[in-house]
Amino acid sequence: MEFESTNTKKQYKRYNSDVIKLALNEIKSEKISVYAAAKKYHVPKSTLQISILNNKKKKSGSPQIISIENEQKIADWIKECARKGDPRTKEELFQAAIQFD
């Protein structure tokens, strides 16, 4: 008895990002509904709804307190101390972060 292997992985279709942007612009300007835009641009309604939701999502996590430049300076300082064999404690790291900002 032979069994055929079935590929159950779903294939997703990619849509032209320019077409999706056009559709989203019309939806945002309230010219047409999501359903009408899906029909007009031949893109599934769910694809447009997901795009709308993704554009509204907020960044996760807490806001950055230390600038990227200062964060890099602190990281370089930690590496240099470690290279010299003089590791820093957690408290020293916090104090350095306060002084850099």
Q: Is the pLDDT score of 18 beyond 80?
A: yes
pLDDT band, very low/low/confident/very high, at 50 (cuts 50, 70, 90) = confident
Look at residue 2 in the predicted model and tell me its pLDDT: 47
Q: What is the pLDDT of residue 39?
A: 92
DSSP code per residue over 13-29 = PP--HHHHHHHHHHHHT
Q: What is the mean pLDDT of the chain?
A: 82
pLDDT at 11 (0 to 100): 64
What are the tokens at 21? 């942007």
What's 17-56's CATH class? Answer: mainly alpha
Residue in the structure block whose two tokens are 């294939």 = 11
Q: What pLDDT digit, counting tens, does each position of 69-80 carry?
A: 888 998 999 999
Q: For residue 27, what are the contacts with CB-CB under 8 A and spacing of at least 6?
A: 33, 34, 37, 48, 52
